[in-house]
Chain A
Amino acid sequence: MKLQGYLRADGRKGVRNVLVVAYLVECAHHVAREIASPFRERGVHLIGFPGCYPNAYSLGMMEKLCTHPNVGAALLVSLGCEGFDKRRLARTIESSGRPVFTIGIQDKGGTRRAMAAGREWVEATLADIARQQPVPMGIDELTVGTICGGSDATSGLTANPAMGVAFDLLVADGAKTIFEETGELIGMEHLMAARAANPALGEELKRSVAKAATYYATLGYASFAPGNADGGLTTIEEKSLGAYAKSGQSTIDGIVKPGIAPPRKGLYLLDVVPDGEVRFGFPNINDNAEIAELIACGSQLILFSTGRGSVVGSAIAPVIKVCANPETYKRMEEDMDVDAGRILDGRATLPEVGREIYELVQRVGGGEPTKSEALGHQEFILTYKSFEPLGPACLPV
């Protein structure tokens, strides 16, 4: 399958044509889920924000997600009295050229009427967006995010460096690529700074890791646990190296924050740790919080490395799971797209698996479903955070 995409009004292309149903407060979650559930197999995904009190980060995230290139239309489900700025969100979606409709549960007269109205709109709109045909797409029109979860001793030996190889191939072809997560890069800041496009960006990279280290230390997160040493990791540098290997060898072209798309081709670090004093608890309470942020930065596809065996996918963007551990792959083959553990027993080399991932990215971009998509995984989570704007040195021209 060749890479192809749905052309949007802003010129970006989506590798899927999803209709999102978005609840704007937890009180609207059930109605939104009931509206979406009959259409689960037809490209309707559920997303939403559970908080009632408004928050600039979550509004920005919802704007970016509802106007993501993989999204063709959006239904907003509001209770009616929540603090979320639903009018602004609807205007943003409308001005992006996408069909959008807001249902107020209180206005409609309750659960049953709101559900009926929602399903009617979804049915009609699905037929509408199905008329759009995909067009050929280049690798230079792709944004790919990478994440690791459920890591073990094999993650840093096989899957992460193999994804790094794939990243290098994508960058060479002009794609935009995003890696994370600063809290797992403690000890790598000097290496990252040396790879920065210029010294000022290098200083920003160091600063972003320092912010993460401070944030985690305040929350009582130990960076290097005794279990790490039991697993054969000797120093904090070595531990972080495993996660860092996902980034490949390319020049680091900039830092982005959730919702900010990389402006040009190349490799970018996503800074997911909130700015300012520590509030709202853990920066990302699970892998899907981070996946949602990678998607909000424009990623049409996610590469996910796992050693112990994560099963998640995501709403909006396909997730390609790269399994690091050959034993895990044997046990959970149905959930894994790539068997990177072959590197350990000599059945494949790192460059071979890297190229396999690179080629799979193009097939999935052409419409081939990933394992998690075929199994119906559409996880999504969004919580409170706060960020300051990017510093001027974060995106060198």
Chain B
Amino acid sequence: MASFDQRAARAVMRLSPGDNVAVALRPLKSGETVMLDGVEIAIRRHIAVGHKFAARTIEKGEIILKYNCPIGTAISRIAPGEYVHTHNVESNYLPTYVLPK
């Protein structure tokens, strides 16, 4: 279930209550503060619409959860409000297929 903060309903969205990342619903500026489930989070760099930031501190090796599903693993410690993308997350997907030779 999605949760919204009334004061910042248009800014950010966490898709499932247990997620450690949230999604920008409008471009977020470096240094601005957004409210997520009653907690103030300082955004640490520009985040484009649809992109993710840490909703809390994420330790190195921690699974990234979005919509309560694992989408990868943090390859470094990620502070709240920091941009979460390919520079600090890697896929856990091991292809279950091989191409025919």
CA of A153 to CA of B98, assembled, Å: 30
Using known A-B contacts A237-B72, A238-B66, determine if residue A217 contacts B97 with beta carbons closer than 8 Å. Answer: yes
Residues of B within 8 A of A206 (CB): 96
Residues of B within 8 A of A217 (CB): 97, 99
B46 within 8 A of A: no
Residues of B within 8 A of A156 (CB): 67
Interface contact tally, CB-CB below 8 A: 96
Residue in contact with B23 in the complex, picked from A157, A218, A350, CB distance below 8 Å = A157
Residue in contact with A235 in the complex, picked from B25, B49, B93, B96, CB distance below 8 Å = B93
CA of A238 to CA of B67, assembled, Å: 10
A189 within 8 A of B: yes
Residues of B within 8 A of A154 (CB): 50
Using known A-B contacts A345-B9, A349-B4, determine if residue A234 contacts B69 with beta carbons closer than 8 Å. Answer: no
Using known A-B contacts A213-B97, A237-B91, determine if residue A232 contacts B67 with beta carbons closer than 8 Å. Answer: no
Complex contact B69–A237 (CB within 8 A): yes
B60 within 8 A of A: no
Q: Which residue of A lies closest to B16 (CB)?
A: A161
Residues of B within 8 A of A191 (CB): 69-70
- Per-residue A-contact encoding for B1-13, CB less than 8 Å = 1, 0 else: 1101010011001
Complex contact B99–A232 (CB within 8 A): no
CA of A231 to CA of B9, assembled, Å: 21
B90 within 8 A of A: yes
Residues of B within 8 A of A238 (CB): 66, 71-72
Using known A-B contacts A234-B85, A237-B93, determine if residue A345 contacts B25 with beta carbons closer than 8 Å. Answer: yes
Complex contact B50–A235 (CB within 8 A): no
Question: Which chain A residues (199-243) contact chain B, with CB distance < 8 Å?
Answer: 206, 209-211, 213-214, 217-218, 229, 231-232, 234-238, 241
Complex contact A241–B66 (CB within 8 A): yes
Q: Which of B6, B10, B52, B71 has the most CB of A within 10 A?
A: B71
Residues of B contacting A: mostly: loop
Complex contact A229–B86 (CB within 8 A): yes
Residues of A within 8 A of B9 (CB): 345-346
Residue in contact with A209 in the complex, picked from B4, B85, B92, B96, CB distance below 8 Å = B96
Residues of B within 8 A of A213 (CB): 95-97
A283 within 8 A of B: no
CA of A238 to CA of B49, assembled, Å: 16
Using known A-B contacts A213-B97, A349-B2, determine if residue A234 contacts B72 with beta carbons closer than 8 Å. Answer: yes
Using known A-B contacts A232-B50, A237-B91, determine if residue A189 contacts B70 with beta carbons closer than 8 Å. Answer: no
A187 within 8 A of B: yes
A residues with CB within 8 A of B: 153-154, 156-157, 161, 186-187, 189, 191, 206, 209-211, 213-214, 217-218, 229, 231-232, 234-238, 241, 244-245, 343-346, 349-351
What are the nearest 9 A-B pairs in CB distance? A346-B9, A153-B50, A232-B51, A235-B91, A232-B50, A238-B71, A210-B97, A235-B72, A213-B97
Q: Can you pick out 19 interface pairs between chain A and chain B where the beta carbons lie within 8 Å of each other?
A: A154-B50, A161-B2, A161-B67, A191-B70, A209-B96, A214-B97, A214-B99, A217-B99, A232-B23, A232-B49, A232-B52, A235-B86, A237-B69, A237-B91, A237-B93, A343-B2, A343-B13, A344-B13, A346-B10
B residues with CB within 8 A of A: 1-2, 4, 6, 9-10, 13, 15, 23, 25, 48-52, 64, 66-67, 69-72, 84-86, 89-93, 95-100
